[in-house]
Structure 1
Amino acid sequence: MKLPLKKIHLDGGTQTRARIREDIIEEYAEDMKAGAVFPPLVVFHDGKDYWLGDGFHRWGAAMALNLDSIECEIRQGTLADAQWFSFSANKANGMRRSNDDKARAVKSALRHCKGDRSDSDIARHVGVVHDTVAKYRREMETAGELSPRDSRRQDGASCENRKIDAQDDDMPGQPARVVSRKGKTYQMKVGQIGKAKKPNRKKAGGIAKDAAVPVRKPGQMIPTLTISIPLNNPEAAAGALLSNCEPAYLRKMVARITTTLDERSAK
């Protein structure tokens, strides 16, 4: 079944690759234009919205070609179902996953409402070895990013009684980092945008008395990602941003751009 591209939501925390590759989008677009037939996107329908579970590069290629719709395999399910499915996407087909892709998928699965499963179950689902899941679970629990599995079960943090919110920090997909302008590529450090300021944080490093996580040391790099934005195709550019950025970050970006344009128009 074909769905309009604009009807498919990309902002549900289901993009689990470390980054969207513009060269792959361009390659897919060329193949589509030449008549190549691609597998349908996997989309989850919750009765109201359509959430993309697999096929971000194919969606981007179709958008770059200004197509109105694309072939989709529609499955009935919630946003949580789409997220959980996305962690297993591309483990056996599609563009080969990098180690960063696998790490992101594992960490996202551990944070998910279904992440209280055993390391072996998560490893089979994501498509990695058991030791990889165990390693990231230990690291995340030590850093305070993840509660022990037993306590999560006692809290009843299941997908049935926990609200799934794509803007929740526990959901996969961290704020992205863009931009290309006039042929030059820039990196945007956005890891802290939209987050509340932690109280009593020491500027020189160390841990504040009431802080929940270690203070970032001076000079420590904030994770960034550089992607290409097609300056001659606003819709494709919007698609690239939607594929990589959290909704809260995009709203702040749009608000800032709108305010600046209004100020310039008033001059």
Structure 2
Amino acid sequence: MSSVVCLEISTLRRDGGLHCRIGLNQDSVAIYAAALKGGTPFPPVIAFNNGQEIWLADGYHRIAAAESIGHKTCSVDLRSGSLRDAILYVTSIKASKIQGIPHTLDDRSRVVERLLRDYVWSRCSDDQIADHCGVSRRWVHRVRQEFILRN
């Protein structure tokens, strides 16, 4: 279940390993901040509520932009679900297709690695992970091999 609500930005947990990018693109944050300041509406960020915590899944750049201009609240598409549900959302092809800033190659590797750290997905085939993330099977295989060597 999902509903759009206005929440205090400070209530959004951002420490669950959900940000699948290597880092924030500060140029994008500045562009978003200027647009917000000018009154441009942005889609709500997406967060998952497990009844105790609200995990920010999508919208890290929008939140950073809002904070940079002093906003204390934001519009949130709040969905019921656990941290793991949020992880499965942010690693899905569906999530990557709606994002305003395209994933870099490093971001795509990070998404695959996030699934490889999951107790269920780590046992899935390269094909299954590729289908979920929207990358090639060969990409998943390469990332898995590098992940295994590092861990």
Q: What TM-score results when the alignment is normalised by the length of structure 1?
A: 0.51
Residue 30, structure 1, aligned to residue 34, structure 2:
yes
- Residue 125 (structure 1) aligns with: 132
State the 4+ residue runs in structure 1 displaced beyond 3 angstroms: none
Shift of 1:16: 0.8
Shift of 1:23: 1.2
3-state SS of 1:2 partner: strand
CA distance in structure 2 between the aligned counterparts of 1:113 and 1:12, rounded to whole angstroms: 16
3-state SS of 1:131 partner: helix
- Residue 136 (structure 1) aligns with: 143
Q: Which structure: greater strand fraction?
A: 2
3-state SS of 2:129 partner: helix
Shift of 1:10: 0.5
Match of 2:46 among 28, 31, 42: 42
Q: Whose Rg is larger?
A: 1
Q: 1:60 to 1:144 in 2, by over 3 A?
A: closer
CA distance in structure 2 between the aligned counterparts of 1:121 and 1:70, rounded to whole angstroms: 35
CA distance in structure 1 between the aligned counterparts of 2:117 and 2:136, rounded to whole angstroms: 18
Residue 107, structure 1, aligned to residue 113, structure 2:
yes
Q: Sequence identity, in percent?
A: 33
The amino acid that maps onto 1:113 is Y
Q: 1:66 to 1:121 in 2, by over 3 A?
A: same
The amino acid that maps onto 1:108 is R
1:55-107, Cα deviation, whole Å (9 max, x unpaired) = 10001011111112101111111111112222233245320111111111111
- Residue 6 (structure 2) aligns with: 2
Shift of 1:120: 1.7
Match of 1:51 among 40, 55, 60: 55
3-state SS of 1:18 partner: coil
CA distance in structure 1 between the aligned counterparts of 2:35 and 2:100, rounded to whole angstroms: 14
Matches within 5 A, 1:140-155: 140-141=147-148, 143=149, 145=151
Is the 1:84–1:112 contact (alpha carbons within 8 Å) kept by the matching residues of 2? no
Is the 1:91–1:127 contact (alpha carbons within 8 Å) kept by the matching residues of 2? no
CA distance in structure 1 between the aligned counterparts of 2:79 and 2:136, rounded to whole angstroms: 28
Q: 1:44 to 1:28 in 2, by over 3 A?
A: same
CA distance in structure 1 between the aligned counterparts of 2:18 and 2:8, rounded to whole angstroms: 19
The amino acid that maps onto 2:140 is V
Q: 1:144 to 1:36 in 2, by over 3 A?
A: closer
3-state SS of 1:16 partner: coil
CA distance in structure 1 between the aligned counterparts of 2:34 and 2:101, rounded to whole angstroms: 16
Structure 1 residue runs of 5 or longer lacking an equivalent are 146-267
Q: Which structure: greater helix fraction?
A: 2
Q: What TM-score results when the alignment is normalised by the length of structure 2?
A: 0.88
3-state SS of 1:53 partner: strand
CA distance in structure 2 between the aligned counterparts of 1:35 and 1:144, rounded to whole angstroms: 46
Q: 1:121 to 1:106 in 2, by over 3 A?
A: same
Larger RCO (alpha carbons 8 Å, 6+ apart): 2
Shift of 1:144: 6.0
- Residue 148 (structure 1) aligns with: none
- Residue 223 (structure 1) aligns with: none
Is the 1:91–1:126 contact (alpha carbons within 8 Å) kept by the matching residues of 2? no
